[in-house]
């Protein structure tokens, strides 16, 4: 972790991230109408992979430390790294889909929440909206001169305001020509502490927010991370780059489908 290089580029190189980020966001848009009760996570993954490849993207997750699929699909109390497979989605489920197409060597890493059907509990809706707001609270601190502690603190505060917790075991990361680089972008922190945010940095902001406690555990498949107390978990992720004008978001939805319900 600590010997990874800091992900910092020239703003004039951001075009590569714009392309990769756009394909990532288009892929999440593309899959939206297929997220319905009865579909399996494996079927969604197959469609995503086909769309990515047809549009010039290579899924970065396949073969990444042995990971087998083109996406991570994490339902309900799964925090992250859910492996797509035979799991059938049901009315009322909330899921996160996380993908990273590589385009011309650049990695566009993004995830969104989706509602399965329409009967989503009030608690699940509140959690999903809060995870979205938490991500934006973090992104809005990502300005030259601020620190990653400012962003982490803003995220933690946003989640806590509604009685939720942030996951501390996983974090955002530098991204760009490599999938996971420095800096670590923690979902909690102290204002003024941590790495100084500089022009040209490219990293993800990807808080996971739990309805219950923050603790997680990994299942015996070696990947699937769940909340230890089995409470619901939600996450959104954008890849961003720092310019003198503030954060540039590479993975915004062209359709405006950034937070569910998507209509
Ligand atoms: N996309 C995830 C992230 O946001 C990483 C997934 S790695 C995998 O960093 F191997 F689990 F796919
Ligand atoms: Co990421
Ligand atoms: Co991701």
pLDDT digits (tens, 9 = 90+) for 110-157: 999 999 999 999 999 999 999 999 999 999 999 999 999 999 999 999
Give helix 41-54 / helix 14-31 axis angle, nearest 10°: 140
* The predicted structure's pLDDT at residue 231: 98
The response to whether residue 150 sits with its C-beta less than 6 Å from ligand 1 reads no
User: Is ligand 1 within 6 A of the CB of residue 100?
Assistant: yes
Q: Starting at the earlier edge strand, list the strands of the sheet with 110-115.
A: 71-75, 94-99, 110-115
Residue nearest to atom 11 of ligand 1 (CA): 81
Residue 44 — pLDDT band, cuts 50, 70, 90?
A: very high
pLDDT score at 2: 53
CA-proximal residue: ligand 1, atom 2 (nearest): 98
Sign of the alpha-carbon torsion through 136, 187, 246, 176: negative
Following DSSP, what letter does each residue of 120-170 receive, concatenated?
--HHHHHHHHHHHHHHHHHHTT-STT-BHHHHHHHHHHHHHHTT-EE-SS-
Residues 180 and 177: their CA atoms lie apart, in Å, by 9
165-200: pLDDT as tens digits: 999 999 999 999 999 999 999 999 999 999 999 999
State residue 237's pLDDT score.
98
User: Three-state SS string across 233-260, please?
Assistant: EEECEEEEEEECCEEEECCCCCCCCCCC
Three-state DSSP state, 219: coil
pLDDT at position 263 is: 83
pTM: 0.98
The atom number, within ligand 1, closest to the CA of 180 reads 9
* pLDDT score, position 209: 99
In this predicted structure, the answer to whether residue 13 has a pLDDT above a threshold of 70 is: yes
Closest ligand 1 atom to Cα of 60: 12
């Amino acid at each position: 972790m600590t010997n990874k290089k800091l992900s910092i580029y020239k703003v004039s190189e951001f075009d590569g991230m714009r392309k990769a980020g756009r394909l990532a966001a288009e892929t999440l848009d593309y899959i939206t109408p297929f997220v319905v009760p009865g579909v399996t996570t494996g079927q969604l993954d197959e469609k995503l992979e086909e769309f990515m490849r047809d549009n010039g993207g290579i899924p970065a997750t396949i073969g990444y430390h042995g990971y087998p699929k083109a996406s991570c699909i994490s339902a309900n109390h799964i925090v992250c790294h859910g492996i797509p497979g035979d799991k059938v989605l049901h009315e009322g489920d909330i899921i996160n889909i996380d993908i990273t197409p590589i385009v011309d060597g650049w990695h566009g890493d993004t995830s969104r929440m989706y509602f399965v059907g329409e009967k989503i509990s009030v608690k699940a809706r509140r959690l999903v909206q809060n995870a979205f707001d938490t991500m934006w609270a973090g992104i809005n601190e990502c300005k030259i001169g601020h620190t990653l502690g400012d962003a982490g603190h803003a995220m933690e505060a946003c989640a806590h305001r509604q009685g939720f917790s942030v996951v501390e075991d996983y974090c955002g990361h530098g991204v760009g020509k490599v999938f996971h680089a420095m800096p670590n972008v923690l979902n909690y922190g102290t204002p003024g502490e941590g790495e100084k945010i500089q022009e040209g940095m490219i990293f993800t902001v990807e808080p996971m927010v739990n309805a219950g406690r923050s603790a997680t555990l990994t299942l015996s498949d070696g990947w699937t991370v769940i909340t230890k107390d089995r409470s619901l978990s939600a996450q959104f992720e954008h890849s961003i780059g720092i310019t003198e004008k503030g954060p540039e978001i590479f993975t915004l939805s062209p359709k405006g489908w950034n937070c569910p319900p998507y209509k």
